[in-house]
Amino acid sequence: MAEHILEAHSLTKQEAQIPREDWFEASETLQHLRKNKKFPTIWCSGCGLGVIMGALIRAIDHLGLEKDQVALVAGIGCTARMPVYMDFNTLHTTHGRALAFATGLKIARPDMKVIAIMGDGDALAIGGNHFIHAARRNIGITALVVNNSIYGMTGGQYSPTTPVGMRATTAPYGNVEPPFPICDLAIAAGASYVARSTAFHALELDKYLSEAISNEGFSLVEAVSYCHTTYGRINKLGTAAEMMRSLKDNSIPKATFDKLTLEEQQANTKIVRGVLHRKKRPEYTAIYDLLVQQQTHQEEIRLRNVGRY
């Protein structure tokens, strides 16, 4: 290992026992990382995105999918750096268009498991129309939306999911716009599987992600994360570990939420975790294939009858 790396971490050779090449073999999760990339990741120290990346890898690994069977599509942003580190087919696209590219990919290769990884600004502000239309078509894409309530990479501007009253660099006196309820939006638009979890509940996230990937229609998994560097600092929410703890304290399971009275449910400000919606609807590529088959069949009949008239 390079001496300057050891020096930067004030380590001796004995303390950093495992050579870099062997670390990728140390667990099943690490075996799915791309070895030629520069590690550690570009994210800030303690960012929840790394936890969500681990959960996604475990979910794919749990389903036993081949690496070539999975395609990860991402737009622009902190979250969109995630596929860079994972050893699957990846597509890095323009800002907000992850679902648009993913739709094209899914129609061309319906056998592939297409996962669109987006941040909240990527999915709902810049790519808002692609989001609702992908849900309306019920195309078999898994959308993983990481909600950290802010545009992290560009310097902490307020996003469509910043809660009312919270500060951002472009809302220094507090945000006045009500946030988008991502899951409700997807349910209303017609998604067939909608679930929400947080970066703290990583094992729960594994479960929802593997259910979403094996679901046939459009599935949305909202992973609530945090941004302690921009959002946390300007709102004085503490370190990464404190924000991680607040995800634990400020979230309730859906089973508990359902037991509350209507007034309590309306007054609830906590994050509700769980599978929020599950509905079987015909999947887009299946309907499209059917249409193509029907039309080809009719064309054959037409061609057969050409000479008879």
Partner 1 sequence: MTEAVPAPTQAPARKAPRGEVVIYATWCKGCTICVEFCPTNVLAMHPSGRHPIVAVPENCTACHFCDTHCPDLAIVVRKLA
Contact residues for partner 1, defined by CB under 8 A: 1, 5-6, 9-11, 15-16, 18, 20, 23, 26-27, 29-30, 33, 39-41, 43-51, 53-55, 58, 200, 202-203, 239-241, 244-245
- Tell me whether residue 110 or residue 238 sits nearer to partner 1 (CB atom): 238
Tokens of 265: 């449910």
Q: Give min distance, CB of 18 to partner 1, in A.
A: 6
Q: Give min distance, CB of 33 to partner 1, in A.
A: 7
Q: Give min distance, CB of 97 to partner 1, in A.
A: 27
- Tell me whether residue 179 or residue 232 sits nearer to partner 1 (CB atom): 232
- Tell me whether residue 5 or residue 255 sits nearer to partner 1 (CB atom): 5
- In 3D space, the residue among 232, 265, 264 whose CA is nearest the CA of residue 247 turns out to be 232
Q: Give min distance, CB of 36 to partner 1, in A.
A: 16
Long-range contact pairs involving 286-293 (C-beta distance under 8 Å, separation at least 24): 286/110, 286/216, 288/107, 289/110
Q: Which residues pair with 219 in a beta bridge?
A: 142, 193
Rg over alpha carbons for the chain, rounded to the nearest Å, is 22
Q: Give min distance, CB of 39 to partner 1, in A.
A: 6
Q: Give min distance, CB of 44 to partner 1, in A.
A: 8
User: Are the C-beta atoms of residues 171 and 104 closer than 8 Å to each other?
Assistant: no
- Tell me whether residue 50 or residue 160 sits nearer to partner 1 (CB atom): 50
Tokens of 274: 């769980």
- Tell me whether residue 48 or residue 140 sits nearer to partner 1 (CB atom): 48
- Tell me whether residue 45 or residue 298 sits nearer to partner 1 (CB atom): 45
Q: Give min distance, CB of 29 to partner 1, in A.
A: 7
- Tell me whether residue 97 or residue 273 sits nearer to partner 1 (CB atom): 273
Report the C-alpha gap between 119 and 55 in whole angstroms.
Answer: 16
Which residues, at least 6 apart from 242, have a Cβ–Cβ distance to it below 8 Å? 228
Give the containing element (helix H, strand E) for 195: strand 193-198
Report the C-alpha gap between 82 and 91 in whole angstroms.
Answer: 11
- Judged on CB neighbours under 10 Å (0-12, 13-18, 19+), 124 is buried
